């Protein structure tokens, strides 16, 4: 059976939809800006879940990448895509997502507008074996030690820099509070997460 052609909304510099194009054109033509949702999934110990991209992937096969990352379906919001992709890729559903920041990926292969969300999860991960070869939690120190080695995708290394910048701009003062809010407000991170990130705030 023929594989279904994926269609993406194409946007302008202000993230306004201006048309549509198939995935095959978007990955290879940087003039076709399209939308992507990311989720950073942390456990209560402050470790970040990363996925190892399948060796069958057309882009960055076999490298470790952001917890969740996927393109928006036509007409879908960033939050809707983040929720859907988290379930499709990791089997995680029914937990709140907190919006963190927007960013842009621009290279000689593709152009993406990205919205990144935060989730806290302490359950079993059932990842999609068609797209992912493995998942594991990484401490901040382990990530820092592996940066620039080729272990991670370039996009994840950019994401990690953005996350560290977010941590510097929004420090947590009350370490006894745990509040992961859905969709529109910044969370107070749990004390274990705060402790694990002290090194990246320096």
Read off the pLDDT of residues 14-32 as tens digits, 9 standing for 90 and up: 999 999 999 999 988 999 9
For residue 48, pLDDT beyond 60? yes
Q: Answer whether residue 7 is part of any domain.
A: no
Domain that holds residue 46: 36-99+113-201
SS3 63: coil
Band the pLDDT of 179: cuts 50, 70, 90.
very low
The dihedral built from the CA positions of residue 121, 88, 155 and 14, taken in this order, carries a sign that is negative
pLDDT reported for residue 141: 93
Cα dihedral 42→43→48→49 (10° resolution): -100
Identify whether 16 is part of a domain: no
Q: What is the pLDDT of residues 106-160, one digit of tens each?
A: 988 889 999 999 999 989 999 999 999 999 999 999 999 999 999 999 999 999 9
- pLDDT for position 68: 97
How many domains would you assign to the chain?
1
Determine, yes or no, domain membership for 131. yes
* CATH code for the domain in which residue 178 is found: 3.90.79.10
Proportion of the chain above pLDDT 70, given as a percent:
82
Alpha helices in the chain (DSSP H): 23-26, 78-90, 140-146, 154-169, 191-196
Q: Label residue 1 by pLDDT band (50, 70, 90).
A: very low
Q: Is the residue at 21 inside a domain?
A: no
Pairing of strands 17-22, 33-42: unpaired
Asked whether residue 107 is domain-assigned, the answer is no
Q: Is the pLDDT of residue 62 over 90?
A: yes
pLDDT of 53 > 90? The answer is yes
134 forms beta bridges with 52
Which of 17 and 59 is assigned the larger pLDDT? 17
Q: What is the pLDDT of residue 154?
A: 92
Distance of alpha carbon 155 from alpha carbon 44, whole angstroms: 25
Phi-psi region of 174 (alpha: psi -120 to 50; beta: other; left: phi over 0): beta
Confidence at residue 192, expressed as pLDDT on a 0 to 100 scale:
45
User: Is 4 domain-assigned?
Assistant: no
Tell me if 105 is assigned to some domain.
no
pLDDT above 90 coverage of the chain, percent: 64
Residue 172: pLDDT band (50, 70, 90) is low
- Residue 154 to residue 166: CA distance in whole angstroms: 19
Work out the mean pLDDT of the chain and round it to a whole number: 85
In a domain, 25, yes or no: no
- The tally of CA atoms less than 13 A away on the side-chain side of residue 74 is 12
Mean pLDDT of 49-56: 94
**Cα Dmax for the chain:** 55
């Amino acid at each position: 059976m023929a594989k279904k052609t994926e269609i993406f909304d194409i946007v302008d510099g202000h993230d306004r939809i201006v048309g549509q194009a198939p995935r095959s054109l978007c990955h290879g033509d940087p003039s076709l800006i399209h939308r992507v949702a990311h989720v950073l999934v942390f456990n209560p110990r402050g470790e970040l879940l990363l996925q190892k991209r399948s060796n069958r992937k057309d882009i960055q096969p076999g490298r470790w990448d952001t917890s969740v990352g996927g393109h928006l379906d036509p007409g879908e919001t960033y939050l809707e895509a983040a929720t859907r992709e988290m379930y499709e890729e990791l089997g995680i559903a029914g937990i709140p997502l907190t919006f963190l920041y927007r960013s842009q990926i621009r290279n000689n292969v593709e152009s993406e507008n990205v919205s990144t969300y935060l989730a806290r999860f302490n359950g079993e991960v059932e990842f999609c074996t068609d797209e992912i070869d493995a998942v594991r939690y990484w401490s901040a120190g382990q990530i820092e030690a592996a940066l620039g080695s080729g272990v991670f995708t370039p996009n994840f290394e950019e994401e990690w820099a953005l996350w560290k910048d977010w941590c510097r701009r929004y420090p947590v003062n009350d370490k006894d509070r745990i509040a992961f809010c859905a969709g529109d407000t910044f969370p107070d991170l749990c004390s274990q997460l705060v402790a694990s990130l002290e090194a990246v705030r320096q």
